[in-house]
Amino acid sequence: MADLVADVRAAIRDVPDFPKPGILFYDITPVLADPELFQRVCRWFADAYRDQGIQRIVALDARGFLFGGPLVGELGASLVPVRKKGKLPYQTVSVEYDLEYGSAAIEIHVDAIQPGDKVLVVDDLLATGGTAAATVDLVRRLGGEVVGCVFLVELDFLGGRAKVDAPAKSLIHY
């Protein structure tokens, strides 16, 4: 695992002042561009939960989708998208959550998760924890059991893990 962490850290590109001055953005697109490294990351995600009986991979809009797809094959689970409000075509359950400046809402289809389903939540980044916490709430409203949340990168200094009421694992910590 130490090699994987080192390889991913070396691939992530720091972009200063994006999306606004004073923000240091950790760009994961070089990880996505390297097929071998991307597969290793997805395998790490899957290995952490392989023996947990995962039935649904809940992937967050939008970069969570990139990791959710490969996990379907790795874990034999179905993919469930969680999207920004108004983007899903069928009946949904929605939750609003606070952002640093304002609020946002995400949705899931009402029939995406059955009571008792074992769920893994996946996204690229855990920052303030608002989106991940809202997703855990949506899954539980539908009766799902959140086995865990997995992220490529976690910004420890923002304290997002404390907001997520579920076990969480992250490969890279800043």
Q: What is the residue-level pLDDT of the chain in tens, covering all 174 positions?
A: 899 999 999 999 999 999 999 999 999 999 999 999 999 999 999 999 999 999 999 999 999 999 999 999 999 999 999 999 999 999 999 999 987 778 999 999 999 999 999 999 999 999 999 999 999 999 999 999 999 999 999 999 999 999 999 999 999 999
Q: Which one from 40, 56, 83, 100 is the annotated catalytic residue?
A: 100
145 is catalytic: no
Domain 51-173 has CATH 3.40.50.2020: yes
Instruction: Please say whether the beta carbons of 151 and 123 come within 8 A.
Output: yes
Instruction: Please say whether the beta carbons of 171 and 38 come within 8 A.
Output: no
Q: Which one from 63, 140, 141, 145 is the annotated catalytic residue?
A: 63
Close Cβ partners of 105 (under 8 Å, ≥ 6 residues apart): 84, 85, 94, 95, 96, 97
What residues does each domain of the chain span? 51-173
Q: What is the pTM of this model?
A: 0.96
Report d(CA 94, CA 90) in Å as an integer: 12
